[in-house]
Amino acid sequence: MNNSQHNLTAPELLLAENQRLRADLELLHALQLLHQSITLATTPAQIHDALAQDAPVPLQAHTALVCQQSERGPWIALTGPGGAQLNQRADAVQHTLNTVAQHFRQTAPDTPAGTASSTTHTLVLPVSTIAQQTTALCLESLTPWTPRRLELANALVRHADHCLQALAAGPAKTTAAATAETARSLPAAFAVRNKRRLQIAAVVLVIALLPLQLKIPATGILEPVNRQRLYASESGIVTELPVSDGQAVRPGDVLVRLRSDELELQQAELLGALAESQARLAALETAAARGSATVNALSVESEQAELRARILSLEQQRIVLQRRLESLVLRASTAGTVIGRDLQQRFVGRPLQRGQVLLDVVAAETPWHLQLDIAETDLRHVLNASRQGSQSVVQVSYFTETSPEQERSTRLASIGTAAELNARGEWKTRITTLAAPLTAPERPGVGVQASVSCGRRPLLYILLRRAFDVARRTILLQGVY
């Protein structure tokens, strides 16, 4: 493995290996077709044309020329690319013929056909010697010849030699015999190498199709199902806050005392008005009882009725005002634990506005659940999993950020019907789980990392899921899907 492959991820390595295997299969297919063309040839000219026209592709050469030399005669070009009649005087043809002649002058006379030496990008391969006529294949490449390409070229010219010898021997040398000789001439190493590559491809395919559990990531918080949240019932100043964070309380315990100067002023004015009305009514009733001649009976009765109505209204206002004053004392409605940070420093002696949050009381023995956010692009997998069964069978694995070593599991309870945009500009949908098991006391709002099990999918899809989703959405937007 080279340095560049070390930087590749597992999916990229799989794709690279698939590309290499596909290229090898295409090479094998091209060689098979070329072997078939040479085997089925009925004349030497057809074999020469197949070598010149079809050999450059699988051997990665850009030109090929088949040359022939009569005994002690000059080399001539038999055929080349395109199969057209060659101009023997062309500079390119003469350069190739000189290269071939120089190769045979430097090669030992007893060198067997099919061996080759390559010092440059030009490769000369002796093909056959029949009736004192030597045939050779000259290949020119843009890149140096690798051992594997040399091996393939040697196997190819040996097969062409067997077929030419069979044609020279007459009908007794059958095509089947030539094919058998060709099979024996194929390099064993090449066959073993491709068998190993096919085995690797099979293993990669099996791994890619191996079904595993698709888990969709989610983040959120751990929250108690039941909690009492205390709000400031009236605007005022905190005079007493006898509890602290983490303190256990019982029903009726005082949590916060407020003082409202405005309500106290209203109460004083109301009580004054009430006392004044009651005194006036008492004076009128005393005067009427004495039968004073100076008192008009009709006016007295009218004023008494008005005072009684006023006193009744003031009494009702006093009751309402008294309830508002009593609401300045906030008490615990259930047994539980106080949750709030720096309560005394934040609230004691400081003014509050009506409706301002003060603290929470988490009920004792209350169940807890997860409130998780799922990306809109992943929500469809969760919806599909919930439709296949019921939401209560969709498993959710999670761990809290305070206890990452303890993985727990619960089940899906509900899926939100609306998506919201978070602070990072991502659309998220809220899902909620059933009661989550706890092994240690937790705090409301602790961070949670979770994964939702959405059924079994092939490993290749799990690894490349996001790429598949992007491609699918692109196709949908283009109106092709």
- Name the β-bridge partners of 359: 230
Model pTM above 0.75: no
The per-residue pLDDT for 166 is 85
Give the list of residues 6+ apart from residue 475 with CB closer than 8 angstroms, or none: 481
pLDDT tens-digit series, residues 257-307: 999 888 888 888 888 888 888 888 888 888 777 765 555 667 778 888 888
Better pLDDT: 120 or 74: 74
| Alpha-carbon 188 to chain mean position | 44
Task: Answer yes or no: is pLDDT of 317 > 50.
Answer: yes
pLDDT value of residue 233: 86
What percent of the chain is predicted at pLDDT more than 70?
Answer: 83
Q: Per-residue DSSP letters for 126-137? A: EEEEETTEEEEE
Instruction: List 410's β-bridge partners, or say none.
Output: 396
Give the model's pLDDT for residue 373: 92
- Cα–Cα distances (Å) from 231 to 64, 76, 363, 420, in that order, read 91, 105, 17, 26
User: Is 80 exceeded by the pLDDT of residue 95?
Assistant: yes
Q: What percent of the chain has pLDDT over 90?
A: 7
- What pLDDT is attached to residue 458? 86
Q: What is the pLDDT of residue 113?
A: 45
Higher pLDDT, 117 or 98: 98
Residue 297's CB is within 10 A of a number of other CB atoms, namely: 9
Q: Residue 429 carries which DSSP code?
A: E
pLDDT tens per residue across span 446-480: 899 999 998 888 888 888 887 777 777 777 666 54
Average pLDDT, the chain: 80
Residue 391 has a pLDDT of 61
Listed in sequence order, the residues at least 6 apart from 278 whose beta carbon sits closer than 8 Å to its beta carbon are: 311
Taking only Cα atoms into account, the Rg of the chain, rounded to an integer number of angstroms, comes to 48
The closest alpha carbon to 330, from 207, 234, 410, belongs to: 234
Can you tell me the mean pLDDT for 412-423? Answer: 86
Quickly tell me which residue has 């050469």 as its tokens.
61
| CB contact at 8 A, 155 and 190 | yes
| DSSP, res 84 | P
Is the model's pLDDT at 426 over the cut of 70? yes
Q: Give the mean model confidence (pLDDT) for residues 6-25.
A: 68
* Amino acid identity, position 245: D
- Measured between alpha carbons, how far is 373 from 10 in angstroms, rounded to an integer? 28
What lies within 8 Å, CB to CB, of 476 at 6+ separation is none
Residue 217: alpha-carbon gap to chain centroid: 9
- Structure tokens, 195: 């068998």
Question: 288 exposed, middle or buried (CB, 10 Å; 0-12, 13-18, 19+)?
Answer: middle
For residue 478, the model assigns a pLDDT of: 63
CA distance 415 to 433: 9
Indicate the range of 10-14, 153-157, 443-447, 470-474 predicted with least confidence. Answer: 10-14
